[in-house]
């Protein structure tokens, strides 16, 4: 436990800061100066208990399988009028000296929870620390614009605790309303993204660098110069060698998500050969592209363009040994670089003697690539293959012998997304899964008791068609609107004799979720992930997978597939192998085929932009093959 004196001192410092910073004053809802008798405290579970220790509310949670432990704090009568203030801030102590504590703070208005009349933020309270958690009215999820809360009527505040496998106690030192009415949270500079105009970081019309974006080391000297009417960077390199150069955005990161590569044009303006090399990094230096360089040293007076691909040269290879580590095989991590968060271009130089070099331009762009002839016609490896499922989506109706257009809502921002059969649209040789702003009930059925603002489409072969092993392929067109999560995946289905759906589709034992393609639209159009999940989705859950970059075809379709053999998985995009895993734990339960497009995702915006909707995930065909020598299994 933390010494009480330290907690009290920290609280006094916190309160004094509020006095100093907040013109509108403060209103103590819980803590020093508040009357506990004027509060009503409830919980959604009997696994959570609480008591007042002086002014401090001490909360204890024990493990269990019931609802996420939520503590509700309300005035004993009516609602709080906090209209004079701009935020609510809780001060929380984590007495545990080893484990962090994840807490969410939600501030409510009246109204059905399905309509989201609330703002929420979360934090991780570090071990043996007392830390603040603030909700700014009208903002949520990292102080992004959210529901426009009415601070004049706040009927309750909720604190969510993320379950642990051991009893946990935490302390709410205070809850205070403060800040000026209409408060606007500060801009998170690390979250700023710059999209280079026409892809140019350097060299385009009107595009230049500032001196503070240039980091020259090891004796390198740089000068911004005019070359052919555009800005360029002149570099002088001393004979001693070892010079490096880095270019960074003014703030935050470059968003290069609309490109597949970075092209840099070098000119040797000196008298000795120079071999430049460079790579891209995120803020985390482990998240880098491969290094690219000129094929040979650049001779004096010569120019060369070097193309850096975001895709890794080495394909991703799955983990071996201890699968709980989830790590790829050493040296085969695929691409860890995130193109929407490019924070640094790092250069090195090989030369003998004093050298000079000019960077004429740096531009992000797209390279298209034709498909190999086998794509869509056969699997990528030889064998006695027979096509077992072929749906071209011709006509204007869905083949209900194979597909179901509705299903459960397990993932994404499920509180604002519902599935409707009306959002699965067949026509023109394709099927479209549509997301639109259309409030209603999940599955269009009030009995589900799940109401949401946005309707989405899904397609699944559950209970109608499954297969164990083979090659599974689909040709798709991905949407590029805010906060969407289109996916092509396989889920185990043991058949009706296995019992309820969660038992039929469990990934434990021997089952495995195979995510052939998961695309979060905030990444840009040329990046997605593959993934494998197994051993359930609880405390024993395990997963691994790869980030994938791909060059589009000239017509902008993407063809993605997985070759599933006993103990082996190989993933392809547009005919190129991108990930491979050979291990005895690869699942051997027949799988259904699924296409979904919920809202959200783990690294995505949480809500769409209504003016961008409707948005479609378009599927041109689904084709599945089986090899004659593979063990039979599934439901044709």
How confident is the model over 6-27, as pLDDT tens digits? 433 344 333 333 332 333 479 9
Residue 303 tokens, joined: 């120019």
What confidence tens digit (pLDDT) does each residue in 285-344 have?
Answer: 789 999 999 999 999 999 999 999 999 999 999 988 778 765 555 556 678 899 999 999
Name the percent of the chain lying above pLDDT 70.
Answer: 94
Say if residue 177 is in the same domain as residue 203.
Answer: no
Residue 23 belongs to some domain of the structure: yes
Which pLDDT belongs to residue 443? 94
Residue 563 belongs to some domain of the structure: yes
628 φ, ψ to 5°? Answer: -60, -30
Say if residue 197 is in the same domain as residue 180.
Answer: no
Residue 378 belongs to some domain of the structure: no
The most confident of the ranges 113-117, 189-193, 267-271 is 267-271
Strands 253-254 and 193-194: parallel
243 touches 219 (CB < 8 A): yes
Within a 10 A sphere around the Cβ of 410, how many other Cβ atoms?
10
342 touches 282 (CB < 8 A): yes
Residue 376 belongs to some domain of the structure: no
Q: Mean pLDDT, the chain, as a whole number?
A: 90
Q: Which residues have a Cβ under 8 Å from the Cβ of 445 and sit 6 or more positions away?
A: none
Nearest to 572 by CA among 359, 208, 316: 316
pLDDT at 68 over 80: no
Say if residue 28 is in the same domain as residue 154.
Answer: yes
| DSSP secondary structure letter of residue 524 | -
CA-to-CA separations, 606 to 157, 602, 617, 619, 634, in angstroms, rounded: 22, 9, 18, 24, 36
The stretch 593-599 carries a mean pLDDT of 96
Residue 27 belongs to some domain of the structure: yes
The most confident of the ranges 97-101, 415-419, 467-471 is 467-471
Which pLDDT belongs to residue 159? 92
Say if residue 199 is in the same domain as residue 180.
Answer: no
Which pLDDT belongs to residue 325? 61
CATH of residue 591? 2.60.120.200
Say if residue 139 is in the same domain as residue 216.
Answer: no
With bands split at pLDDT 50, 70 and 90, how would you rate the model's confidence at 143?
confident
Say if residue 211 is in the same domain as residue 281.
Answer: yes
Say if residue 481 is in the same domain as residue 341.
Answer: no
Residue ranges with strand state E in 1-83: 26-30, 39-43, 48-53, 56-61, 70-75
With bands split at pLDDT 50, 70 and 90, how would you rate the model's confidence at 530?
very high
Say if residue 426 is in the same domain as residue 335.
Answer: no
The stretch 212-238 carries a mean pLDDT of 95
pLDDT at 188 over 70: yes
The stretch 43-52 carries a mean pLDDT of 91
19 touches 3 (CB < 8 A): no
- The model carries a pTM of 0.76
Boundary-marking domain end, from 336, 365, 394: 365
Residue given tokens 């050979």 in the structure block: 582
The stretch 166-176 carries a mean pLDDT of 93
| DSSP secondary structure letter of residue 342 | B
Residue 371 belongs to some domain of the structure: no
Task: Report the distance separating Cα 49 and Cα 610, nearest Å.
Answer: 41
What confidence tens digit (pLDDT) does each residue in 423-446 have?
Answer: 999 999 999 999 999 999 999 999
Name the CA radius of gyration of the chain, rounded.
Answer: 28
Say if residue 198 is in the same domain as residue 175.
Answer: no
Residue ranges making up the domain that contains 133: 4-186
CATH of residue 345? 2.60.120.260
For the chain, the domain total comes to: 3
* Sign, Cα dihedral of 311, 313, 316, 321: negative
Say if residue 470 is in the same domain as residue 515.
Answer: yes
Boundary-marking domain end, from 158, 186, 214: 186
What confidence tens digit (pLDDT) does each residue in 362-421 have?
Answer: 999 999 999 999 999 999 999 999 999 999 999 999 999 999 999 988 776 777 899 999
Residue 625 belongs to some domain of the structure: yes
Boundary-marking domain end, from 186, 215, 235: 186
Say if residue 422 is in the same domain as residue 460.
Answer: yes
Say if residue 335 is in the same domain as residue 249.
Answer: yes
Q: Dihedral angle at the C-alpha atoms of 266, 270, 273, 275, nearest 10 degrees? A: -30
590 touches 468 (CB < 8 A): yes
Q: Dihedral angle at the C-alpha atoms of 225, 229, 231, 235, nearest 10 degrees? A: -40
Residue 626 tokens, joined: 């089986």
Task: Report the distance separating Cα 131 and Cα 125, nearest Å.
Answer: 6
Residue 501 belongs to some domain of the structure: yes
Side-chain-facing half-sphere of 501: CA atoms under 13 Å:
7
């Amino acid at each position: 436990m933390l010494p009480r004196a330290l907690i009290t001192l920290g609280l006094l410092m916190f309160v004094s800061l509020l006095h100093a910073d907040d013109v509108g004053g403060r209103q103590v809802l819980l803590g020093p100066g508040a009357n506990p008798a004027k509060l009503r405290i409830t919980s959604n579970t009997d696994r959570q208990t609480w008591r007042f220790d002086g002014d401090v509310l001490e909360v204890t949670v024990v493990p269990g399988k019931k609802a996420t432990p939520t503590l509700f704090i309300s005035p004993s009568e009516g609602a709080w009028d906090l209209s004079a203030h701009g935020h609510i801030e809780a001060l929380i102590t984590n007495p545990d000296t080893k484990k962090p504590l994840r807490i969410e703070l939600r501030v409510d208005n009246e109204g059905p929870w399905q309509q989201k009349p609330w703002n929420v933020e979360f934090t991780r309270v570090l071990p043996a620390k007392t830390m603040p958690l603030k909700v700014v009215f009208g903002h949520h999820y990292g102080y992004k614009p959210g529901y426009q809360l009415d601070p004049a009527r706040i009927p309750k505040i909720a604190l969510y605790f993320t379950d642990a496998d051991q009893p946990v106690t935490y302390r709410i030192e205070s809850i205070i309303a403060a800040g000026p009415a209409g408060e606007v949270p500060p801009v998170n500079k690390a979250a700023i993204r710059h999209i280079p105009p026409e892809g140019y970081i350097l060299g385009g019309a009107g595009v230049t660098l500032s001196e503070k974006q240039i980091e020259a080391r090891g004796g390198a000297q740089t000068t911004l110069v005019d070359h052919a009417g555009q800005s360029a960077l002149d570099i002088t390199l001393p004979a001693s060698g070892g010079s490096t150069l880095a270019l960074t955005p003014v703030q935050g990161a470059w968003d290069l998500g609309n490109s597949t590569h970075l092209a840099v044009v070098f000119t040797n303006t000196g008298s000795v050969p120079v071999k430049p090399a460079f790579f891209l990094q995120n803020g985390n230096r482990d998240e880098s592209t491969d290094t690219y360089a000129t094929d040979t040293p650049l001779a004096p007076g010569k120019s060369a363009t070097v193309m850096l691909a975001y895709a890794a040269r080495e394909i991703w290879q799955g983990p071996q040994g201890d699968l709980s580590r989830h790590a790829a095989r050493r040296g085969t991590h695929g691409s860890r670089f995130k193109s929407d968060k490019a924070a640094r271009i790092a250069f090195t130089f090989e030369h003998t003697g004093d050298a000079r070099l000019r960077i004429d331009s740096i531009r992000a762009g797209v390279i298209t690539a034709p498909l190999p002839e086998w794509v869509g016609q056969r699997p990528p490896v030889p064998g006695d293959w027979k096509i077992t499922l072929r749906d071209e989506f011709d006509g204007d109706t869905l083949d209900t012998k194979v597909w179901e257009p509705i299903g459960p809502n397990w993932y994404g921002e499920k509180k604002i997304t519902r599935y409707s059969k009306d959002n699965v649209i067949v026509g023109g040789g394709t099927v479209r899964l549509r997301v639109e702003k259309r409030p209603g009930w999940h599955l269009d059925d009030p009995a589900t008791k799940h109401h949401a603002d946005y309707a989405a489409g899904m397609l699944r072969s559950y209970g109608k068609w499954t297969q164990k092993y083979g090659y599974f392929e689909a040709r798709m067109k991905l949407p590029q609107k805010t906060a969407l999560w289109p996916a092509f995946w396989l889920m185990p289905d043991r058949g009706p004799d296995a019992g309820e759906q969660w038992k039929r589709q469990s990934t434990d034992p021997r089952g495995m979720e195979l995510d052939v393609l998961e695309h979060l639209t905030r990444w840009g159009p040329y990046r997605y992930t593959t993934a494998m999940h197994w051993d359930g989705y609880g405390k024993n859950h395990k997963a691994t997978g790869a980030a994938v970059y791909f060059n589009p075809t000239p017509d902008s379709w993407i063809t993605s597939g997985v070759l599933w053999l006993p103990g082996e998985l190989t993933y392809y995009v547009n005919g190129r192998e991108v990930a491979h895993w050979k291990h005895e734990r690869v699942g051997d339960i027949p799988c259904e085929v699924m296409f979904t497009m919920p809202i959200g995702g783990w690294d995505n915006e949480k809500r769409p932009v209504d003016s961008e909707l409707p948005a479609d995930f378009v599927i041109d065909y689904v084709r599945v093959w089986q090899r004659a020598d593979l063990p039979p299994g599934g439901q044709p």
